A and B are shown apart, each in its own frame.
Chain A
Amino acid sequence: MMKRIWALFQARNLEFLRDRSTLAWNLLLPFLLVFGLAVLFSGDGRPLFKAGVIAAGAVDAPLDQQLHPFLATRHVEFYRVPDSALGSAIQKVGRHQVDMLLDLRPGQMQYWVNEASTNGYFLQQLLQADNNPPLQASSVEGEQIRYVDWVVPGILGMNIMFSCLFGVGYVIVRYRKSGYLKRLNATPISATEFLLAQMLSRLVLVVFFTVIVFAGCHLLLHFVVEGSYLNLLIVLVLGTFALIALGLVVAARVKSEELAGGLLNLLTWPMLLLSGVWFSMEGSPAWLQWVSQLSPLTHLLEAMRAIMLDGAGLADIWANLAVLGGMSVLFLLLGAWLFQWTER
């Protein structure tokens, strides 16, 4: 059994690596996207100062100067932060994503600012000019998270998704249409062996190329990686596996490449939009966030960002890992169950 899987695994790898144009595209596209975005967003794109406010009262109650005269300052975007999100809001101040955080609840009356942030410094100067009732200062430290730091996992994840879904789904359908599956079906190889070989080949290639692109971008852009590289690799392998398994489901029976392309687009585009590739799903309607949890890409990206930006360990992202693992098993069983070599 291993001999057969190994033979198919090697053959598929050779086929992929010798297809120069596809290979070049697989390497070039993610590089181009990362660098394109790095250039586009290199300046600070935010025209406003942005400050989070925790205050008593209803969630949609207005933030006005009755709470504190500072809130009347123009050209500052004050937005309400729920009490429960205090911790993550402080973290955002540390990463320069929010310039200042004010806690105006009675008895709290304090603010957080990152001394290293230009915007934070200016806001602090403004506040101190009229700090009445007085707010107590707290300093937060942390390196600035650029958009690039945030979007790199998204682009890598997007590339992995396309590579897995099309590289497995589309290729198996192509094999079926050309009649190659029919020829294999006439040999003693089983469907499971064939599918395993295809999965392993794609897994190894995708992980290999992702690591290359990751290393290349890292050298040139120095994006933030707080957590462990090993954990990142584990998440990468698991996420890739789940996406490949999803590709197997699409490819299980479809005989036409056009239909396969349509189905794959139907899957990839919503995932691209809803999984937080380009922008965070924070602040979008609850039902949309719920839908986004159905996408394996969401969990891959959440886990990658948690490791890279927050330095999370595997224990912190167990929920994402469990969902990815569960999806892998589900898709794999479904794909193997549905699989047909040819129309019978």
Chain B
Amino acid sequence: MDAAMVPALKTVAQAGVVGGRLDAVPPILEVRDLKKHYPSVKAVDGVSFSVRTGSCFGLLGPNGAGKTTTIEMMEGILAPSAGAILYKGEPQGLRFRAEAGIQFQSTALQDFLTVREQLRLFQHLYPHGLPLAEIVETCRLESYLDRDASKLSGGQRQRMLLGIALINDPDVVFLDEPTTGLDPQARLNFWELVNRIKARNKTILLTTHYMEEAYNLCDEIAIMDHGRIIAHGAPAALLAHHFQDVVIELPWADFAPVAAQVAHRKLDKVQPVAEIVTRDVNAALDELLQLGVSLRGLQVRSRTLEDLFLELTGKALRA
């Protein structure tokens, strides 16, 4: 029934990209004034944004900001208290279920099944499942395909869950904190997978509290706190808009004796590194030299999303 319409829509979307008229393509997902109120808390309190077809959209925020609540309403799992969510211009229906790939923050599966059996089960739940071989290749599952799915390492498990999320060849993929708890290697590995998916012109909606991850993967981000979006845009544009300064980093031990006398603004950072913000590096260095601070351990870096985040929320990210 819907199957005939899907390829046609995909062609439209691709034509839009090829023609360079990206704005002419309607957003694949649109969220309007979305709210989720629980008796004791307003988890999501009026959120609006749209996700362009083929883009990677990142929802950022500290724990409890409302990211997961927002993404789960978009996935059709939670019912919103108010507001609208449109998928390809329509409310989410059966077609959305068939065309969305979903990886929850923590996904539970049936016990006692191997990775292959898990994939096959989900493959059969969709009208058009991809061949297993393709998923296995994309997500690099070969080496543990016949292992009990409950006996995988964190990284292996996330790759399998991503495989399950991709098994219906989805148009839009939801990844809720996919790399939380992974070691740095597994995280890099996962990023590479996400880039592969992006290369297939899939739309990705990602939540994370790693700014680095958002910066590397996302075309557009929205930073949430207390159920609202407090900043929204392309990562580079956001940084350019909020910051015209750079950060000078010094070992805390060198900086401490003169800390009270430095006129430049200091970032409220945990030791052992002191950070000074300035638009004029020369002036700042002059000041430090005049105060007799050793500059041996000095580093200058540009502003990151993490700085932006701290600036906007005033909270430590990973707390």
**For window 72-113 of chain B, which residues contact chain A by CB distance below 8 Å?**
75-79, 94, 97-98, 100, 102, 104, 106-113
For residue B122, CB closer than 8 A to chain A, the reply is yes
In the complex, A180 Cα to B149 Cα: how many Å? 14
Determine if A12 and B127 form an interchain contact, defined as CB atoms under 8 angstroms apart: no
Interface residues of A in 1-54 (CB under 8 A from B): 3-4, 6-8, 10-12, 14-15, 18-19
B117 near A11: Cβ-Cβ < 8 Å:
yes
| Cα distance, A344 to B104, chains bound together (Å) | 16
Q: Which of A156-210 contact B (CB under 8 A)?
A: 175, 178-180, 182-189
B98 partner residues in chain A, CB cutoff 8 A: 188
A15 touches B112 (CB 8 A): yes
Contact of A15 among B76, B110, B122 (CB under 8 A): B110
Least CB separation from A188: chain B residue? B97
Q: Indicate the size class of the contact surface on chain B.
A: 20 to 34
Contact present for A186 and B121 (CB under 8 Å): no
Shortest beta-carbon distance, B55 to chain A, in Å? 21
Within 8 A of A (CB), among B93-151: 94, 97-98, 100, 102, 104, 106-113, 117, 120-122, 124-127
- Does the CB pair B111–A19 fall under 8 Å? yes
Residues of chain B lying within 8 A (CB to CB) of residue A18: 112
Please name all residues of chain A whose beta carbon is closer than 8 Å to the beta carbon of B113 when the two chains form the complex. Answer: 11, 14-15
Contacts of A4 in B (CB 8 A): 124-125
Complex partner residue of A178 from B75, B108, B125, B168, CB under 8 angstroms: B108
A298 smallest CB distance to B (angstroms): 34
Q: Contacting B112 at CB < 8 Å: which of A19, A183, A184, A186?
A: A19
Flag if B97 contacts A182 (CB, 8 Å): no
Q: Is the interface of A mostly helix, strand, loop or mixed?
A: helix
Whole-angstrom distance between the alpha carbons of A14 and B120 in the complex? 13
B87 → chain A closest CB, angstroms = 13
Q: Would A186 and B120 count as touching, CB distance under 8 A?
A: no
Contacts A19-B111, A179-B107 hold; do A188 and B117 have CB atoms under 8 A apart? no
A91 within 8 A of B: no
Alpha-carbon distance between A154 and B46 when the two chains are bound, in angstroms: 60
Distance in Å from the Cβ of A87 to the closest Cβ of chain B?
53
In whole Å, how far is A198's beta carbon from the nearest beta carbon of chain B? 11
Instruction: Report the Cα distance A178→B125, complex, angstroms.
Output: 20
Q: Does A268 contact B (CB under 8 A)?
A: no
- B110, A180: Cβ atoms closer than 8 Å: yes
CB pair B125–A187 under 8 Å, yes or no, is yes
Bound state CA distance, A48 and B308, in angstroms?
92
Bound state CA distance, A135 and B126, in angstroms? 78
The answer to whether the Cβ of A342 comes within 8 Å of any Cβ in the partner chain is yes
Cβ < 8 Å to B, chain A residues 51-96: none
Asked whether B121 lies within 8 Å of A188 as measured between CB atoms, the reply is: no
B79 CB contacts on chain A under 8 angstroms: 344
Q: Which residues of B contact A184 (CB under 8 A)?
A: 125
Residues in A with CB closer than 8 Å to B122 are: 187
Q: Are A7 and B102 in contact (CB under 8 A)?
A: no
How far is A182 from B76 in the complex, measured between Cα atoms in Å? 10
A186 nearest CB neighbor, chain B only: B102
Chain A, 212-242, CB within 8 A of any chain B CB: none
Q: A14-B112, A178-B108 are in contact. Are A342 and B125 (CB under 8 A)?
A: no
B126 touches A180 (CB 8 A): no
A179 near B104: Cβ-Cβ < 8 Å: yes
Task: Please name all residues of chain B whose beta carbon is closer than 8 Å to the beta carbon of A186 when the two chains form the complex.
Answer: 75-77, 97, 100, 102, 104
The answer to whether B107 and A14 have CB atoms under 8 Å apart is: no
Contact call A15/B111, Cβ cutoff below 8 A = yes
Residues from chain B with Cβ under 8 Å of A19 in the complex: 111-112
19 contacts between A and B (CB under 8 A): A4-B125, A7-B124, A8-B125, A10-B121, A14-B113, A15-B111, A19-B112, A179-B104, A180-B108, A183-B102, A183-B104, A183-B107, A184-B125, A186-B75, A187-B122, A187-B126, A188-B126, A342-B77, A344-B78
Interface residues of A (CB under 8 A from B): 3-4, 6-8, 10-12, 14-15, 18-19, 175, 178-180, 182-189, 342, 344
What residues make up the interface of B, taking CB atoms closer than 8 Å to A? 75-79, 94, 97-98, 100, 102, 104, 106-113, 117, 120-122, 124-127, 168
Please name 7 further chain A to chain B contacts, defined as beta carbons within 8 Å, in addition to the given A19-B112, A186-B100, sorted by A numbering. A4-B124, A11-B110, A11-B113, A15-B112, A182-B104, A187-B125, A344-B78
Q: Which 10 A-B pairs have the closest CB atoms?
A: A7-B124, A178-B108, A179-B108, A18-B112, A186-B102, A187-B125, A180-B108, A188-B97, A344-B79, A15-B112
